[in-house]
Amino acid sequence: MITEKKLITNDRLNESYIEAVHSSGLKIYISEKPEYSSAHAIFGTRYGSIDTKFRLKGTENFTDIPEGTAHFLEHKLFESEDGNAFERYAVTGAYANAYTSFDRTCYLFNCTSRFEENLSILLDFVRHPYFTAETVEKEQGIIGQEIRMYDDEAGWRVFFNLLCAMYSKHPVRIDIAGTTESIAEITADMLFECHKTFYNMSNMFICVAGKVNADEVLAQIDREITENEPREVIRGLHDEPRGINYPRAEQKLAVAKPLFNLGFKEECKNPEKTLKERIETAVLLEIIAGKSSALFERLVNEGLVNDGFGTEYFTGFGYAAEVFDGESSDPEKVAEEIKKEIRRLRENGIDENDFIGAKNSLYGQMVMQYNVIDNVVSALVSTAMTGDGMFDEMDVFEKLTLDDITDCLNRQLLEEHSALSVIYPAE
């Protein structure tokens, strides 16, 4: 049964969503958008590629599982003894997919009709695994081919090469799909145990947005979700050193121009960064290298980067790094110019107009996300993962000061903790 339900509103945005809890522990988030013609749903679990070490609350010992298990399980859940979920969605006309990231696995669909039927399919196949030794062995071959394919994907490799340069112990450095060696260790029994642990309703969430009736969605979930004994999963920490693993990574692949990722590894005194820390860093990166920054204009004018140059605050459980990425005929020069700009800002201070411009730009992007259903569902997923309210960002932005960003600059983006990854054209 639904044990908690509350409506969360924001009058300035004229937006709202419902947050509810099922007695099984399942968290539910629904944003009604009656003016839209489609609906989007995501059924997710807090289980990703970094979860190679965990224990249940109340137990002392950690369990180790092979790298790539979360991704492997995602692939296998679509299968059943009677067919697969994609075939069922083909009948309803819905688009369905799934993804595994570093800290979560999500199953999704969007549709313009037959929402109740589509949601029923989603709630069914995700909760009812079917594995055999034969199907696991077959999947090992399929995912092994996927891993080898990504070994030649330059954009993928430049990023993971950077992670390997920055991190020596944290599993964030390992490809989300694992390695051919690690997935060879996966068994059907292991998948059943991981499903029992991580796909427990108390570790999961459902996010829905679009042309739906929230009360009807909650009633359907109440009918179809059964009780389970809650299992609280404790993620394992990996004693990651403060320093980087090594300062530079190079590889040659079939690219027309060198690709680069410059990363600045951060200390994670607490496993996860707060919403305020994430927004501060996003604003700082926009000031340093956003499309309106002096650095971006200079690099473009000198022909060192193009419009593909950008930044990301890459952060999750036990890891955080500011990343600058793009393509350039001279990646080393670009990296040096970025470091030089950071030094200049530390020495001369951040211009208040640049701060206001960056803050307003990101605030505007945040507001615009509510016009796209996919973005609304993604925001609800972030709410489910972090515990921050979907509208909490607005309060943080409004209270953000130049002093906050200056403090952020002074404690982050340290050169001694930076690494450069480059993919050069193969000869």
**Of the listed 32, 67, 74, 341, which one is catalytic?**
74
What 3 state SS string does the chain have?
CEEEEEEEEECCCCEEEEEEEECCCCEEEEEECCCCCCEEEEEEECCCCCCCEEEECCCCCCEECCCCHHHHHHHHHCEECCEEHHHHHHHHCCEEEEEECCCCEEEEEEECCCHHHHHHHHHHHHHCCCCCHHHHHHHHHHHHHHHHHHCCCHHHHHHHHHHHHHCCCCHHHCCCCCCHHHHCCCCHHHHHHHHHHHCCHHHEEEEEEECCCHHHHHHHHHHHCCCCCCCCEEECCCCCCCCCCCCEEEEEECCCCCEEEEEEECCCCCCCCCHHHHHHHHHHHHHHHCCCCHHHHHHHHCCCCCCCCEEEEEEECCEEEEEEEEECCCHHHHHHHHHHHHHHHHHHCCCHHHHHHHHHHHHHHHHHHHHCHHHHHHHHHHHHHHCCCCCHHHHHHHHCCHHHHHHHHHHCCCHHHEEEEEEEECC
Per the CB < 8 A criterion, the answer to whether 20 and 4 are in contact is yes
Query: Catalytic site residue 74?
Result: yes
Both tokens assigned to 385: 């993962």
Active site residues: 74
